[in-house]
């Protein structure tokens, strides 16, 4: 197996990975490893915006309190304080990189409001904010002064850890061959794992690879039972699920049930702008009550001119499925969206393994607690990726070259888990079948509403799927799809076990067998007359 050496390896090319690269590459050689094309990441699909206190009528304290409240009090106060106070500096970094946030008539930055926010503090670039940020950062890393290689269509199969320190990665490259790349620092920025579920806003590549490679290397995971389901995702089978940004409700969109009734004021004082976990459960309750598969998001009252200007991408996409949001309500239902937990880090991005940093959705910085506040995700990515880069730069500068020499000397101890696998190879058809069964199981048994019985059933099904995977030759198959399925199987069991272990409801984790929810009223107590 070929061995290569760099200063830094970044796994993932979303906002966190690219922000880390921009700052660390000023002094060090960098490899960015990405499973697909460099532009394909969860960041690209983040429509709504990025939150920051930049208006004198707003305050850090209000952003802090909104974040803590949305996270059901389980957020790390220090991490949240860092997030809100360092947000303005990172926003100006993005502007410098070329992100052209929308402006108002007087050319000042334009803010919108999203669920859980007490003020209008969300900056946006139309309804394509994530794509604009990613494009600007991708352009920035092309600076000829940087020594950056982008290795696309490559999959990291495992982290190389020796004597408690992460020294590199094993990579399945685009030719189907394994190679080792060694480095002084590894930054994990692999995104989320929406593909655990049959209904998700995430792209096909979001298979939880980073969580699993970190776990298998011995890193600590935290809060992975807290999975956020976005309340408003386009629903018109067989059309693909499509995110309808939180900002649509922030600008005045109204949710109505199958009978045309507005219902969110019956569930929370903030109505459509309640935190996402509450809105998602309210939608499920209304669908069950009316025996429907979806509810309707109504924006017709906002007017044609405003709708077309503010949400051009959303409108054009929905129109391809013969629904015009200007004249018709939009059918929506919740879908898996965001992991609130992940690989545990401190506020400088350090994991529990020396030399391994993490940022973005794969990391658990403590910011989100039990539920993410809207538009804090892109912010978390850039704030903590910057801090990680600063810390990693110091780590590399203090690095003892003898360490890498010892690794080179003991290279024979670094073995691939695939090196001795010789046997039958699982077919792509079997991989697709098992993946579909896994996703259906997680949706049914570990979704928006859970029970101890459903979680136990989910664990039993995953055990059976694992056995089928092994018997069909999955562990001996060195393909991207086989690696992804293996990771989904490992992660699903971890999530189910953590959900099973939690005995109290909080945020996105809602078990009907645990404490009675206080944020919902019985149907008999529903107030009439809301419009």
Max CA separation in the chain (angstroms): 76
3-state percent breakdown (helix, strand, coil) of the chain, nearest 5 = 40, 15, 40
What is the rounded distance in angstroms from the CA atom of residue 219 to the CA atom of residue 432? Answer: 29
Single out the residue of 197, 228, 223 nearest to residue 70, CA to CA.
228
Q: Taking a C-beta distance cutoff of 8 angstroms, is the pair 249, 114 a contact? A: yes
Q: Taking a C-beta distance cutoff of 8 angstroms, is the pair 203, 45 a contact? A: yes
DSSP state of 119: S
Q: How many residues does the chain have?
A: 531
Mapping DSSP onto H, E and C, the string for 487-499 reads HHHHHHHHHHHHH
Q: Which neighbouring-strand residues pair with 354?
A: 165
Output the six-digit token pair for 283. 């939608």
Mapping DSSP onto H, E and C, the string for 391-451 reads HHHHHHHCCCHHHHHHHHHCHHHCCCCCCCCCCCCCCHHHHHHHHHHHHHHHHHHCCCCEC
What is the rounded distance in angstroms from the CA atom of residue 461 to the CA atom of residue 297? Answer: 35
Q: Taking a C-beta distance cutoff of 8 angstroms, is the pair 72, 187 a contact? A: no
Output the six-digit token pair for 145. 């002064």
Output the six-digit token pair for 39. 């532009």
What is the rounded distance in angstroms from the CA atom of residue 49 to the CA atom of residue 497? Answer: 33
Q: Taking a C-beta distance cutoff of 8 angstroms, is the pair 495, 197 a contact? A: no
What is the rounded distance in angstroms from the CA atom of residue 192 to the CA atom of residue 195? Answer: 9
- For residues 430-448, one letter each, b for 16 or more C-beta atoms within 10 angstroms of the residue's C-beta and e for the rest, the string is bbeebbebbbebbbebbbb
276 is a catalytic site residue: yes
Annotated catalytic residue within 276, 350, 387, 435: 276
* Sequence-distant (≥ 6) Cβ neighbours of residue 501 within 8 angstroms: 225
Output the six-digit token pair for 121. 């503090």
Active site residues: 276
């Amino acid at each position: 197996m070929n061995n290569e050496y760099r200063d830094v390896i970044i796994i993932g090319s979303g906002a966190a990975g690219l922000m880390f690269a921009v700052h660390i590459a000023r002094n060090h050689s960098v490899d960015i490893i990405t499973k697909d094309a460099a532009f394909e990441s969860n960041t690209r699909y983040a429509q709504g915006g990025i939150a920051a206190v930049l208006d004198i009528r707003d305050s850090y304290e209000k952003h802090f309190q909104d974040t803590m409240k949305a996270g059901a009090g389980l957020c790390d106060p220090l991490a949240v304080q860092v997030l809100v106070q360092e947000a303005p500096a990172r926003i100006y970094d993005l502007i410098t990189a070329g992100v052209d946030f929308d402006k108002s008539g007087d050319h000042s930055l334009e803010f919108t409001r999203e669920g859980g926010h007490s003020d209008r503090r969300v900056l946006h670039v139309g309804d394509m904010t994530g794509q604009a940020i990613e494009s600007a950062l991708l352009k920035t890393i092309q600076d000829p002064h940087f020594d950056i290689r982008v290795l696309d269509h490559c999959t990291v199969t495992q982290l190389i850890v020796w004597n408690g320190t992460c020294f590199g990665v094993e990579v399945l490259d685009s030719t189907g061959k394994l190679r080792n790349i060694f480095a002084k620092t590894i930054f994990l920025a692999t995104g989320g794992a929406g593909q655990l579920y049959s209904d998700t806003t995430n792209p096909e590549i979001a298979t939880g690879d980073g969580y699993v490679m970190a776990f298998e290397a011995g890193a600590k995971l935290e809060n992975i039972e807290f999975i956020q389901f976005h309340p408003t995702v386009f629903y018109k089978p067989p059309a693909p699920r499509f995110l309808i940004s939180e900002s649509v409700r922030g600008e005045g969109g109204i949710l109505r049930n199958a009978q045309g009734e507005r219902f969110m004021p019956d569930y929370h004082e903030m109505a459509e702008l309640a935190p996402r976990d509450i809105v998602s459960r309210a939608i499920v309750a209304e669908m069950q009550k009316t025996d429907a598969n979806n509810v309707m998001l109504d924006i017709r009252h906002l007017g044609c001119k405003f709708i077309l200007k503010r949400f051009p991408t959303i409108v054009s996409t929905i129109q391809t499925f013969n629904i015009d949001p200007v004249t018709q309500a939009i059918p929506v239902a919740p879908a898996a969206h965001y992991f609130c937990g992940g690989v545990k880090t401190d506020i400088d991005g350090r994991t529990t393994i020396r030399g391994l940093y993490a940022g973005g959705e794969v990391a658990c910085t403590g910011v989100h607690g039990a539920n993410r506040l809207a538009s804090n995700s892109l912010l978390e990515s850039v704030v903590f990726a910057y801090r990680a880069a600063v810390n990693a730069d110091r780590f590399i500068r203090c690095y003892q070259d003898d360490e890498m020499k010892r690794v080179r000397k003991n290279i024979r101890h670094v073995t691939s888990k695939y090196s001795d696998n010789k046997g039958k190879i699982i077919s792509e058809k079997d991989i697709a079948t098992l993946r579909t069964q896994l996703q259906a199981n997680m949706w049914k048994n570990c979704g928006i509403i859970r029970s101890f019985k459903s979680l136990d059933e989910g664990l039993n099904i995953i055990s059976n799927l694992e056995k089928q995977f092994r018997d069909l030759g999955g562990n001996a198959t060195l393909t991207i799809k086989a690696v992804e399925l293996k990771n989904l199987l490992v992660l699903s069991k971890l999530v189910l076990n953590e959900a099973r272990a939690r005995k109290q409801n909080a945020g996105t984790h809602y078990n009907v067998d645990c404490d009675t929810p206080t944020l919902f009223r019985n149907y008999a107590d529903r107030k009439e007359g809301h419009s």
